Each structure stands twice: as C-alpha cells, then as structure tokens.
Amino acid sequence: MAEIILSLSDVTKIYGKGETEVIALKDIDLVFEQGEFAAVVGPSGSGKTTLLNIIGCLDSPTRGELSWRGAPMKSMNRTQLAAYRRTHVSFVFQSYNLIPVLTVVENVEMPLLIEGMHDRAAIRERALSIVEMVGLSDKANRYPTELSGGQEQRVAIARALVKKPSIVLADEPTANLDSHTAGEIIKLMREINEKTQTTFLFSTHDPRIMELAQRVITLRDGQIERDERGRHESLEQRTLQDRRKKCTAAQTENPHHRNRAHGRHCRFHHVPVALGGDGQSHDRCRDRLRQQFDKPAIQRIS
C-alpha cells in the first residue's frame, strides 16, 4: 500500500444558520494515498466543490478533522498550514484563471515567484520543462488569448504542477471543454499522475471522463454514496480494456473470431485475440471476414 497522505474523518460542512442552514457535507470519512487518480462525482449541489475546497484549505470544516501525513491540521500553526497550501496542494479551475497579460511560460512561473524562488534561470528552466510535459513547448511564448480552451487548461495544469505538489485538486476541469478535448485533458492528467506519482482529485459530471479514473467517489446530498477503488491500474491498461471490449464485440459478431484460437497479436484490434490456428495473418482473416460479411444478409443466413 502506498503512503497515506491525507485523511478526512467525520468532516461536516454547514453553511448558514437556522432556516438558511445547508449541510453541504455530512460525516465524510476518506483516505487518500500518494499517487491516486480519483474522481469525485455527483449531481450539482452534492458537495463536490465544498469537499475540494476543504481539502485545499480554501474553506474549513464545521466539524471533523483533516490530517496531512498523519498530522492533524487543527494542530498545525499558521505557518505550517500556509506551507501545506503553498507547497503540497495545487488547484486547477474550470475557468483556467490564467493571467492574460503574461505568456504561457510566465503564467507557469508564477507559483515559483510567489513561493520566493529567486534564480530566474532555474525558474525558467523548471517552467519550460513542465510546459513541455503538457505538450505546449511551441506555445511557450504565446498569450492565453491565442490558445484554445484545451490548451489554456494545459497551461493551468502546468502551473499547478510547477511547484511539484503532492496533490492536485481540479474542480470540474473539463466543464468548459468539448468531450474529445475533455478526454485528452483527463488522459494528460493521468499520464502525469503515472509519471510523477502526483495525486489527482478531480470533480466531474461527465460519465466518460469518470471512466478514466482509478477511483470514483460518488457524493449525494453531502454524503458518500459509493467509493469504488482499483478500477484499473494504469492508462495503458485502461486503453487495453477499451480495445478488448471492442474486440470482444467484434468476436461476438463474427463467429469466425469466436470459435478459433491462436496466440497471435491482432493487428486490427491491437490485442491478442483468438483467430484461426492455421497460421493466417489477421489481415487475411479480416479480408475473408469482409468477403463473408459484405454478402447480402439473406445469403449469410443460408
């Protein structure tokens, strides 16, 4: 088991008082390990933003306890809490929040300047390496207005990563993006998660995006309805699962696939599949299937 970095115990958040009281979170118990890639899902108003804000210390719980690497946050003094916020957590927002008068690389440098780093050359080098990690080297000197929404969010992710946080909190990071770009952004976060072991916790409404998560925490009316872990271990495994599903579907459709077995790598579906044991390449197999399936249905049945 990886190291537990963050735990929440009995966390409750109540906004307002009396008649206007809203229980945004109720008795939340959660534990996060280093390197997790987790989604928080649930309908609007279920408490996702409140949960992320409390974890990021943008808000404090009404009751309950948060601990960072075993140390209760209540017992931390202001300096320690500020250090947690500055060093260990980063935010990615739905609306990117880039500074329009700064270039891509200057936006990414910002957290390092705020942190008090002085060495300009080192700052630039670090920022450029992260800009490269998010695939925007060629846009390093552009301004946010010259970028697409997906590219802006990549910059925001780079900015969140530059101080090498332990955990990145992303509140609906893909809500303003089309579904293809949204998928790419989540895959990028997953790649970085696998490469750097940075923990990611993001909220989303999009079922296709939550599919990419390794853990899915479902909130309803401020409570945890479900907490599914170990869905798949890596992006590669996820992609393989996707292809297998497609391949299995193809096999079910095509009796030829279903019935024969060999250990070859299927070039059509990119996974090992059962094909004829007579040494045919899959291309030939596919051609034969095409001939067979391109025939009119009535002939096929006969």
Residues of the shown chain interacting with ligand ADP in the complex, contacts defined by CB under 6 A: 15-16, 22, 24, 42, 44-50
Question: Closest by alpha carbon to 152, among 162, 142, 167, 165?
Answer: 142
Residue from 49, 67, 199, 214 in contact with Mg ion (CB under 5 A)? 49
Which one of Mg ion, ligand ADP, none is in contact with 90 (Cβ closer than 5 to 8 A by kind)? none
Nearer to Mg ion, 53 or 241 (CB): 53
By CB under 5 A, residue 46 contacts Mg ion: no
Cα separation, 185 vs 71, whole angstroms: 33
CB of 28 to Mg ion, least distance (A): 15
Q: Which residue is nearest to Mg ion (CB)?
A: 49
**Least distance in angstroms from the C-beta of 228 to ligand ADP:** 18
Amino acid at 32: F
Are the C-beta atoms of residues 226 and 72 closer than 8 Å to each other?
Answer: no
204 binds Mg ion (CB under 5 A): no
22 binds, among ligand ADP, Mg ion, none (CB under 5 to 8 A by kind): ligand ADP
Q: Least Å distance between CB 160 and Mg ion?
A: 18
CB of 42 to Mg ion, least distance (A): 9
Helices (H), the chain: 48-55, 78-83, 104-115, 120-133, 149-161, 179-196, 207-210, 235-253, 255-259, 282-294, 297-301
User: Which residues would be at the binding site for Mg ion (CB under 5 A)?
Assistant: 48-49
